[in-house]
Amino acid sequence: MKDAVFDDFIDRLRSESDIVSIISDYVSLKKKGKNYWGCCPFHSEKTPSFSVTPDKGFFYCFGCQTGGNVFNFLMKVENITFFEAAKLLAKKLNVPLPEKEKTPRELAKEQEIAKIYHVNELARDFFHACLTKTNYGKPAREYLANRGIADEIIDFLKLGFAPPSWDKLSATFMEQRGIAPDILLKAGLAAPRNSGDGVYDRFRNRIMFPINDVRGRTIGFGGRVLDNSQPKYLNSPETEIFNKRHVLYGFDIAYQHIRNLRQVVIVEGYMDAITLYTQGIRNVVASLGTAFTPDQARNLIKLNAELLFSYDSDAAGQNATVRALDTVRTLGATIKVITIPDGKDPDEFVRKHGSQSFQGLLESAKPLLDYQLDQALKSDDYSTVQGKIAVVGKLAPILAEADNAVAVNAHITRLSQVLAVDESALRTEITKYIVQTKKDKNVKMGKTINIALLYKQPAPAVIQAERQLIRLMCDDLSLVPYVLTNLSPQEIQGTLQQEIINFIFNAYNMEKNISQAAFNAGVNSLSEKASSEFSHIMLMENEFDDEVKLIDDCIKTIRLAHLTALYEQHRLMADELERMGDSNFLQELAESQRIKHEISKLHH
């Protein structure tokens, strides 16, 4: 549909929807004052901290900091896209969907995808029947029984077995049902013969694990051999509906448990996930035996889940853990690592020690920095000078790139005690790493080096000033040009607040309704976290006597904080360059003095 038609459709849904009525289908709400309150559906709580403001059309949870409008709520509670949320809201309101005329190519693609879903479902049922009802599946049934997998779990997960025949699925089963070979190829269930004549079954003589999307639809398969042949595991190839970089095994059945517990256990293999599930640990997913990807991480972060990695305890498993941590570290997730004291994997540990013992491992899981520090200390003999240097060399990049100042300071103190090294020496090494990294990145581009503050965290007063400024502009758009003249978005220290203020400036210049545009889908809308922050700001009480004085005070607080941080950056850089014998320290010193003069003028 055309953009204008879609925008009109969304505006109609927004204006006709009653956010209290829509959310009441999922949450029991009670009115207190002008707002409605209830227990948050996105995390477990007994005391209501979930607030809905009908006049503004926003919701916000003060417990898990989730917020937005009616579209955001439906997207999150149903785990659907913006467009799917719009369709669902239209259905609830009995608003007809705008019709879009599809091209023949689009119709053909839709039909092809529907066929791929269909043949995957047929294949799943075929494999399951082979496992449970034929002699083909007898060795596989014995194998699963020996691994503690009961018949109820086999039926629940639709586990199956692919017969050893080259064409039992494609020729005998699918052909009899009129399924063309080209659809089997597109679904990844068959491969072309070298002769070019016909196809053969991709999966043969393997236990089959159906892989589902979050809606429970089978989109691919994983197959495990019963002997020592290679490859041990074989996944479906990439298809129109299956991309293993985006999918997590077991996510469809673990989804609700993850959302309720706000915690997810991530394992490597299918059997790890199944064994933990059978032992009552239901918030578990597997990364399909491959490297954990950013797309997989984002699926979990959307649920506000704490990520607990439980990869194998052998060298390969530990390496996989490190790669996974590198993947998610920059995405803002809360990460912990489960250390298995004996046994190669979670499956073996649970079968040997029971679920209660594994639950103890979950409770004692270490935060990311603790795990990385422990791994570095284990890797070298730090009783020697060379060992101390090696450990510090491994940890300096990790500590320099961490974003939690309190945790970093605590670990520097601990590391100083363990290594018997002065804290100031450790901080110097970390600063040197930052300087060198910045230098390496910018020298070729001819840029001036600007060292980031080692521990930069906006003060609460600064964040409050930024929030107040956003609220004032949203309540009175005539203030936007004044703020634009006196403040640059780059001076905003809060990451989310900077995104929101940039958005407000852009929306104002494009003459858009700021509150409505903030939550629309698309490249120009706010991110999920910024949308929640925006909802929080719009729910703030807004009482003041002098609007002009308040806005000037907010701008002054923000500018002073920015200049103070900038001064500290240049001062530190000047000190470091002088220590390294680099004459550029004079330029940094001059710049720090100029900034100091600006600060003095603001104070007076």
What value, to the nearest 5°, has the Cα angle with vertex 32 and ends 31 and 36?
Answer: 45
User: What's the whole-number mean pLDDT along residues 187-201?
Assistant: 89
CATH 3.90.580.10 maps onto the chain at 3-93
Instruction: Give the model's pLDDT for residue 448.
Output: 37
Instruction: Give the model's pLDDT for residue 456.
Output: 52
Residue 590 has pLDDT above 60, yes or no: yes
Highest averaged pLDDT of the listed ranges 95-99, 329-333, 507-511: 95-99
Of the candidate ranges 31-35, 380-384, 433-437, 569-573, the one whose mean pLDDT is the lowest? 433-437
104-235: CATH number: 3.90.980.10
Q: Which residue has the higher pLDDT, 504 or 439?
A: 504
Burial of 564 (0-12, 13-18, 19+ CB in 10 A): middle
CB 396 within 8 A of CB 430: yes
Of the candidate ranges 240-249, 342-351, 450-459, the one whose mean pLDDT is the lowest? 450-459
DSSP 513: -
CATH 1.10.860.10 maps onto the chain at 460-603
Instruction: Give the model's pLDDT for residue 157.
Output: 96
Q: How far is CA 539 from CA 314, 477, 526, 604, in A?
A: 50, 18, 17, 34
CA 37 to chain centre: 28
Three-state SS at 148: coil
Tell me the C-alpha distance between 61 and 451, whole Å.
Answer: 37
Of the candidate ranges 280-294, 461-475, 582-596, the one whose mean pLDDT is the lowest? 582-596
CA 134 to chain centre: 42
Highest averaged pLDDT of the listed ranges 272-276, 390-394, 433-437: 272-276
Instruction: Give the model's pLDDT for residue 381.
Output: 81
- Local confidence band at 449 (pLDDT 50, 70, 90 cut-offs): very low
CA 4 to chain centre: 32
Three-state SS at 588: helix
Tell me the C-alpha distance between 156 and 522, whole Å.
Answer: 38
Highest averaged pLDDT of the listed ranges 53-57, 86-90, 129-133, 406-410: 129-133
Q: Which residue has the higher pLDDT, 379 or 344?
A: 379
**Other C-beta atoms within 10 Å of 192: how many?**
13
Residue 175 has pLDDT above 70, yes or no: yes
Query: What homologous superfamily is domain 3-93 in, according to CATH?
Result: Zinc finger, CHC2-typedomain (3.90.580.10)
Residue 46 has pLDDT above 50, yes or no: yes
Q: How far is CA 502 from CA 51, 330, 470, 498, 530, in A?
A: 26, 22, 10, 6, 11
Q: Which residue has the tokens 């220290």?
A: 493
> Which residues sit opposite 222 in a β-bridge?
209, 235
Radius of gyration of the chain (CA): 29
Q: Smallest Cα–Cα separation from 470: which of 453, 489, 451, 455?
A: 489
Instruction: Give the model's pLDDT for residue 515.
Output: 59
CB 514 within 8 A of CB 504: yes
Highest averaged pLDDT of the listed ranges 109-123, 369-383, 568-582: 109-123
What is the side-by-side order of every strand in the sheet holding 160-162?
A: 160-162, 206-212, 218-225, 233-235
**Other C-beta atoms within 10 Å of 114: how many?**
10
Residue 455 has pLDDT above 50, yes or no: no
Average per-residue pLDDT in the chain?
A: 84
Give the DSSP letter string of 420-487: T--HHHHHHHHHHHHHHHHHHHHGGGTPPP-PPPSS----HHHHHHHHHHHHHHHH-GGGHHHHHHH-
Tell me the C-alpha distance between 42 and 65, whole Å.
Answer: 10
CATH 1.20.50 maps onto the chain at 372-445
Highest averaged pLDDT of the listed ranges 216-230, 320-334, 397-411, 473-487: 216-230
Give the DSSP letter string of 29-91: -EEETTEEEE--TTS--SS--EEEETTTTEEEETTT--EE-HHHHHHHHHT--HHHHHHHHHH
Tell me the C-alpha distance between 568 and 559, whole Å.
Answer: 14
- Local confidence band at 453 (pLDDT 50, 70, 90 cut-offs): very low
Tell me the backbone φ, ψ of residue 477, rounded to 5 degrees. -65, -20
- Local confidence band at 291 (pLDDT 50, 70, 90 cut-offs): confident
For 341-370, what is each residue's pLDDT tens digit?
A: 875 688 888 888 888 999 999 998 988 888
Of the candidate ranges 12-21, 85-94, 510-519, the one whose mean pLDDT is the lowest? 510-519
Contacts of 325 (CB under 8 A, 6+ apart): 309, 335, 337, 368, 371, 372
User: What's the whole-number mean pLDDT along residues 455-459?
Assistant: 62
Tell me the C-alpha distance between 278 and 454, whole Å.
Answer: 46
Angle between helices 495-509 and 528-538 (to 10 degrees): 80
Fold entry, domain 460-603? DNAb Helicase; Chain A (1.10.860)
> Which residues sit opposite 263 in a β-bridge?
306
For 308-324, what is each residue's pLDDT tens digit?
A: 998 876 666 676 677 77
The class of domain 251-364 in CATH terms is: alpha beta
Residue 100 has pLDDT above 60, yes or no: yes
Contacts of 111 (CB under 8 A, 6+ apart): none
CATH 3.40.1360.10 maps onto the chain at 251-364
Instruction: Give the model's pLDDT for residue 52.
Output: 92
DSSP 169: I
For 530-548, what is each residue's pLDDT tens digit?
A: 888 888 888 877 777 788 8
- Local confidence band at 445 (pLDDT 50, 70, 90 cut-offs): very low
CB 452 within 8 A of CB 425: no
582 is written with which tokens?
A: 């680099």
Q: Smallest Cα–Cα separation from 126: which of 116, 136, 112, 114?
A: 136
Q: Smallest Cα–Cα separation from 403: which of 368, 445, 428?
A: 368
Tell me the C-alpha distance between 223 and 561, whole Å.
Answer: 57
DSSP 27: S
Three-state SS at 209: strand
User: What's the whole-number mean pLDDT along residues 560-585?
Assistant: 79
543-551, long-range: CB < 8 A, 24+ apart: 547/472, 547/476, 547/479, 550/468, 550/472, 551/469, 551/472, 551/479, 551/482, 551/483
Instruction: Give the model's pLDDT for residue 415.
Output: 86
Instruction: Give the model's pLDDT for residue 179.
Output: 93
Give the DSSP letter string of 233-300: EEEPPP-SS--TTT--BTHHHHHHHHHHHTEEEEESSHHHHHHHHHTT--SEEE-TTS---HHHHHHH
372-445: CATH number: 1.20.50
CATH 3.90.980.10 maps onto the chain at 104-235
User: What's the whole-number mean pLDDT along residues 69-88?
Assistant: 87
Angle between helices 460-475 and 547-579 (to 10 degrees): 140
Segment (H or E) for 212 = strand 206-212
Contacts of 113 (CB under 8 A, 6+ apart): 240, 241
- Local confidence band at 219 (pLDDT 50, 70, 90 cut-offs): very high
Q: Which residue has the higher pLDDT, 263 or 316?
A: 263
State what percent of residues in the chain have pLDDT above 90.
31
